A and B are shown apart, each in its own frame.
Chain A
């Protein structure tokens, strides 16, 4: 049997390994995905005081610390049975919107852009941010850096510290903002909206106007009909910070909608003997293996899933783009994995618009930023949408608020099963008897993975952690046929 390993997957968080075994005739016999995970966090958190969790959990991940900070803070509200003040909720959402602007911007220009702007067959030396900037222009490159910088200023100002906020407290936040800060945030939000519109135009020009790419997006190779998960507000509009988790089937019908406290009734985790990854699935449908469709409990939690799971966007420009996307893709839900990149840009626009709305909210500069908890802590669950999927934090404490048990379902974990399935399908469709296995072909297999933006052991960046993914292909005799290991020296 031949074996192909993709190790490392470039431009991704963490280290992944895809191994593909071929039959005698050169078709794909089997595909395996291995992802190293950090270990022992639950144990690490036991015996610590719950109030430290927003600080500690954000260290799990070097990419989305703000998401962990926010989920942990919300879990503390629940744990201490305290409702945050209206201004506190708005400040949290404001910071979170700024975070989304930075994160989605980074993803598009660094991770997704190179495949489309430079093309899947471009050499790895060109298929990166430098190539992208070279092609789309220095001015836009400067705008990428500037948008990130300005929104980081918001995170630092509101959150008290760059990158790792220290402002979430049970019942509120630690600091109010003043009028001067508010006015600056408003200006940044306006600029971010323009930047998001510009980025959607780049997507239009580069991807949608290129028939080859549009055909690729709509191809069966990159289609997966699974359930879609996403947080929605009371009008079933996409919300990153708060609401209920809604799950919509591949047919577009609502399957369930649950409050954070109910997550264990709806989500279970599958363990497979060949990997230590866990595969969450919809409990009420059950685990039917790595298959899509209505009878399989596999669900996706990605930007596209969030849009699929909602009835629309809560801001006007993003809503227009939402409608345009679905009309281009032929209706809702869209099950095209590569359209996730488009959905992410619509979310970028929404985040910028929401930032502007919140910056203009009359309550946003109010000093009423905290309700002091008085109840005895016991158990709390907090859910937010992390950029890479629904993020759940669940803590159980003693009466002093010392952690006895901690369970986290992080964004990427939700997508383990669909991610594996997308890679497997792409491999099976692209590697056929007689087809020459080129680097461009292996990169297309990686493209099935990139939309999920999986964030593995992303907090680890000790050298030489090249966030690697290696694709290795072995033939029927077990000989290495081809190896793609970009970024590994």
Chain B
């Protein structure tokens, strides 16, 4: 099974870079030729381009919810996106739409997509570092991603 672990975010925008940091750490700890670990700051259609051709995709990103606690980790499946429609993109094609488009055009879409999202505090100030509580969550998310890969 071809699997992709994709860290999503902006590595110089504080907590927005958490997905990319997790992906780096997963790449360091993983030794499995079936799994590709990548990072991207793009979303929407570019995100679609990235995931086409994989059977299983694990995405790691930052999230901001109304009453979430900084550093909180969420595991979500595609059914959650259709409820929340939260996956946005710089070109306003959210992940749900991108996936529907892929199906419509008969592209080789992944059968399974899982998202690990970390509640972010700061996503507007430029910094290469996450805020402390998000930083602390990174090893836990890495563990969860590795577990997911072993299932």
Contacts and interface: CB of A to CB of B under 8 A. Distances in A.
A273 interface: no
B91 A163 contact: no
A164 B11 CA distance: 12
B91 A110 contact: yes
A155 B101 CA distance: 23
Contacts of B48: 145
Chain B interface helix/strand/loop/mixed: loop
B89 A461 contact: yes
B93 A110 contact: yes
Contacts of B117: 463
Contacts of A461: 8-10, 16, 43, 61, 88-90
B124 A59 contact: no
A465 B64 contact: yes
Contact of B101 (A141, A149, A466): A141
A11 B94 CA distance: 10
B101 A129 contact: yes
A234 interface: no
Interface in A154-188: 163-164
A13 interface: yes
Given A62-B43, A133-B104, A462 B15 contact: yes
Interface size classification for chain A? 35 or more
Contacts, number: 149
B120 A462 contact: yes
B88 A110 contact: no
Contact of B105 (A40, A44, A145): A145
A467 interface: yes
Interface string B82-116: 01111111111110010011001101000000000
Contact of B45 (A44, A110, A458): A110
B62 to A, nearest CB: 4
B12 interface: yes
Closest 4 CB pairs of A and B: A462-B62, A463-B63, A464-B86, A44-B126
Interface of A: 10-13, 36-41, 43-44, 56, 59, 61-63, 65, 106-107, 110-111, 128-130, 133-134, 138, 141-142, 145, 148-149, 152, 163-164, 455, 457-467, 487, 489
Given A38-B13, A463-B84, A489-B85, 12 more contacts: A13-B90, A37-B124, A59-B11, A111-B91, A130-B104, A460-B16, A461-B10, A462-B61, A462-B123, A463-B86, A465-B123, A487-B92
17 contacts: A38-B126, A43-B126, A59-B13, A62-B10, A62-B43, A107-B91, A110-B44, A110-B93, A130-B100, A141-B104, A141-B105, A461-B88, A461-B90, A463-B62, A463-B117, A487-B85, A489-B85
